[in-house]
Amino acid sequence: MKRSPIKHCKECGAAVVHRIPDDGDTKLRAVCPACHTIHYENPLNVVGTIPFWEDKVLLCKRNIEPRRGKWTLPAGFMELDETTAEGAARETVEEAGAQFELLGLFSLLNVARVGQVHLFYRARLTSDVFDPGVETMEASLFTQAQIPWDDIAFRTTKETLERFFADRERGHFGVHHIDIG
What residues contact residue 113 under an 8 Å CB cut-off, 6+ apart?
A: 1, 180, 181
Q: Indicate whether 141 pLDDT > 70.
A: yes
Q: Indicate whether 1 pLDDT > 60.
A: no
Q: In DSSP terms, which residues pair with 53 in a beta bridge? A: 56
pTM beyond 0.95: the answer is no
Question: Mean pLDDT of all residues in the chain?
Answer: 96
C-alpha gyration radius of the chain: 19
pLDDT band at 97 (very low <50, low <70, confident <90, very high): very high
Domain-by-domain residue ranges, the chain? 1-41, 44-179
Domains 1-41 and 44-179 share a fold: no
129 neighbors 51 (Cβ within 8 angstroms) = no
DSSP 149: G
In sequence order, what DSSP letters do the residues of 50-113 get, joined into one string?
A: EEEETTEEEEEEE-SSSSTT-EE-SEEEPPTT--HHHHHHHHHHHHH---EEEEEEEEEEEEGG
Alpha-carbon gap, residue 112 to 95, rounded angstroms: 25
Q: In DSSP terms, which residues pair with 124 in a beta bridge? A: 52, 101
How, if at all, do strands 56-62 and 44-53 pair? antiparallel
CATH 2.20.70.10 is the classification of domain 1-41: yes
**173 three-class SS:** coil
pLDDT band at 114 (very low <50, low <70, confident <90, very high): very high
Query: For the segment 22-66, what is each residue's pLDDT rounded down to a tens digit?
Result: 878 999 999 999 999 999 999 999 999 999 999 999 999 999 999
Superfamily covering domain 44-179: Nucleoside Triphosphate Pyrophosphohydrolase (3.90.79.10)
Please work out, in degrees rounded to the nearest 5, the angle formed at the alpha carbon of residue 157 by the alpha carbons of 116 and 169.
130
Q: Indicate whether 79 pLDDT > 70.
A: yes
The arithmetic mean of pLDDT across residues 141-149, rounded, is 98
Q: Indicate whether 175 pLDDT > 90.
A: yes
